[in-house]
Amino acid sequence: MEGGDSMIDLCSYAVSVGEKSGADEIEAVWVKDVSMRIEAELGEISKAAMTRNEGVRIQVIKDKAVSSVFTYQMDKGSLKKAVEKALAAAAASKKDEHWDSLPYPGKYPHVKVWDSAMADASSEDLMEPVAEMLRLVPDDISVFLALNEVYLREKACVNSNGIEHEDRGTLDVVGMAAVGRLEDGVTPAFEKVFFMREYTPDPQKIAEPIIDEINLFKRRETASSGRSQVIISPQALEALLHFTLFTSVSGENVIRGKSLLAGKEGEKVASSQFTLHDNGIIPQGTASREMDDEGVPRQDTCLIEEGILHGFIWNNYWAKRTGVSSTGNAYYDDQTDELSIRETTMVVTPGDYTKEELLNVKDGYYVLSFQGAHGSNPESGDFSVVCTPAYRIRNGEIAGGVVGMMLSDNVFSLLQKIDAVGCDVKVGELSILPCIRFTDVNVVTK
């Protein structure tokens, strides 16, 4: 940055250049991302790395033609050239007859997601929790990955319609993945990852559950094909819903005819035990901020309430095409240079069941993780996933680990078959979810 210029100042300068140069509308978004990562592989610290990315994305609209450029050069001369480049690209681009306007200012929530202790953490600070996780693991368990990574993000947005706002946030990701040694090989991989907005890593809360789960798995059981009760962990549920339900509540997919939920507002689409919000302002959520990637205030959006579909998530462009308001879900993908719609933190309201009460079934399964969820059909909701690790439940107790088990079903059918919802929740990368027990799920075994 040039001497004395803040990130807001530089964005305002780019916008003023665009307005004077003939842009109908212009937006400048400044982003700085810093991450520091400590990693251990095969039981030893193997990596200490810091990355930093900083730049300005400029979007210009001229005669309903939209173009954008990204520059890593932060001086005013480079910003002026970037604006001119964006204007030239707009002049050569095809008009978007659906274009309405860039967003206008809104009331921003106060979301406390910046932790000074995390921002000031050194590589030595990050290394100690990783080393402690390794020390806690016994010799019959092999740690193939342990990590502690801190992310810092600062952002400012200014546009020609009056938006001028900045926010910042911190995030710590700490976790471990390990396998247990067996006489005939190893167990599946067990992992625990914690996502925290304040720097409070607890190696014991990561290592001890993994040790317990591996020891439970060593009491081997077999799985049986057929319809069964299945408890799905928050981690596995997030993976499944991310590639099915979460894409179905995108307003863009609704308008494009790629969602089975289109036109079903007010209808029952899930069990009455199921309530889902996209909450972009919950303090624990990894994506919680004051604004989205085009300066629209984040919010808490009700999607499904006690099984009834209430609505969808939107960015500014698709909301205006539909005559509704943006829900603050604009997401900029720097790899494709496109603005799209993305969930913030999907929150399922917890129920009343303890883990012991969820396990109170005569015969069923408890699934910790899925493989292959990315292959689910986002439009139909059909999925076929490998359950690993997974356990067999007999008479209310975990009897032992199973291998070669799959679930093959449909997510929209599955949501109608909720039997019980757990009272404890887990913060994931995309969600805050409880364990959920489903009934009459199609189990397939080798």
Instruction: Give pLDDT, residue 43.
Output: 81
Instruction: Give pLDDT, residue 4.
Output: 57
Q: Structure tokens of 307?
A: 């099984």
The least confident of 13-22, 41-50, 219-228, 354-363 is: 41-50
Cis peptide before 389 (omega within 30 of 0): yes
Digit-coded pLDDT (tens) for 383-442 = 999 999 999 999 999 999 999 999 999 999 999 999 999 999 999 999 999 999 999 999
Q: Is pLDDT at 164 greater than 60 in this prediction?
A: yes
Identify which has the larger pLDDT, 44 or 188: 188
Q: Is pLDDT at 166 greater than 70 in this prediction?
A: yes
Q: Does domain 7-207 have CATH number 3.40.50.620?
A: no
Query: How many Å apart are CA 370 and CA 409, to the nearest integer?
Result: 13
pTM over 0.85, yes/no: yes
CATH 3.30.2290.10-classified regions of the chain: 7-207
Query: How many Å apart are CA 359 and CA 394, to the nearest integer?
Result: 9
Band of residue 272 on the pLDDT scale cut at 50, 70, 90: very high
Q: Is pLDDT at 291 greater than 80 in this prediction?
A: yes
Digit-coded pLDDT (tens) for 294-349 = 999 999 999 999 999 999 999 999 999 999 999 999 999 877 778 999 999 999 99
In percent, how much of the chain has pLDDT > 70? 99
Average pLDDT, the chain: 96
Contact 390, 305 (CB under 8 A): no
Band of residue 3 on the pLDDT scale cut at 50, 70, 90: low
pLDDT mean over 205-233: 96
